Chains A and B, each alone.
Chain A
Amino acid sequence: NAGVMQNPRHLVRRRGQEARLRCSPMKGHSHVYWYRQLPEEGLKFMVYLQKENIIDESGMPKERFSAEFPKEGPSILRIQQVVRGDSAAYFCASSLQANYGYTFGSGTRLTVV
């Protein structure tokens, strides 16, 4: 079991471009969570998804950000028209059940230039 896999590890985008971050959960895990970590700040919850459903998106910015977890394939966090303030480490985590401890991936470090 390779754990939670995130790619790419590093992503550089120019302002105005789109960023797509991918997350493959641990085998058998159907609950996926996305968190953002800004420099010198704690991890902030963004969104919680199950297969084909968004359960809680209370931490997602209202514009430019979207997430999906299709029936087949990885979960995708999409950021449209990136701005410098989007530069951060984005972590995905998965769990076997809701309200359960979860396992994090190694993150995608997004740099907007």
Chain B
Amino acid sequence: EDQVTQSPEALRLQEGESSSLNCSYTVSGLRGLFWYRQDPGKGPEFLFTLYSAGEEKEKERLKATLTKKESFLHITAPKPEDSATYLCAVQGGNTGTASKLTFGTGTRLQVTL
């Protein structure tokens, strides 16, 4: 069974204080690792997909990296509008119908002035 563990559960940063969120996973045949952002009362918003170890992707102040066992979401010089819950998910399976995502419980990020 695929498993995803995110840490820390909650993180409070001051504006400009860079940090990283961790996503550890076990999966049978990784097809993709996904990062989403979720604001209160809303659905998850897609950020990145990573497919193989060593891959990196960037978007504004966010950078996602992937190894064979974990992924990191690096936040550089965060702003208050980056406050949200960040979700990590894996899509695994060696068969053609393996489409479901297995999510972690998320990291709640709060960025203060």
Contacts and interface: CB of A to CB of B under 8 A. Distances in A.
Contacts of B99: 31, 33, 48, 55-56, 95, 98-100
B43 A106 contact: yes
Nearest to B42: A106
B73 interface: no
Contacts of A42: 4, 87, 103-106
A101 B49 contact: yes
Contacts of B101: 33, 43, 45, 102
B96 interface: yes
B25 interface: no
A105 B43 contact: yes
A93 B91 CA distance: 14
Interface residues of B, number: 26
B80 interface: no
A73 interface: no
Nearest to A107: B43
B37 to A, nearest CB: 11
Given A43-B44, A104-B44, A99 B91 contact: yes
28 contacts: A33-B99, A41-B105, A42-B87, A42-B103, A42-B104, A43-B44, A43-B87, A43-B103, A48-B99, A55-B99, A93-B43, A95-B99, A98-B96, A98-B97, A98-B99, A99-B31, A99-B32, A99-B96, A99-B99, A101-B32, A101-B46, A103-B46, A104-B36, A104-B44, A104-B45, A105-B43, A106-B41, A107-B43
Interface of B: 4, 31-32, 34, 36, 41-46, 49, 87, 89, 91, 96-106
Given A45-B100, A100-B99, A104-B43, 17 more contacts: A35-B103, A40-B105, A42-B87, A42-B104, A42-B105, A42-B106, A45-B101, A55-B99, A56-B100, A59-B100, A91-B44, A98-B96, A99-B91, A104-B45, A104-B46, A106-B43, A107-B43
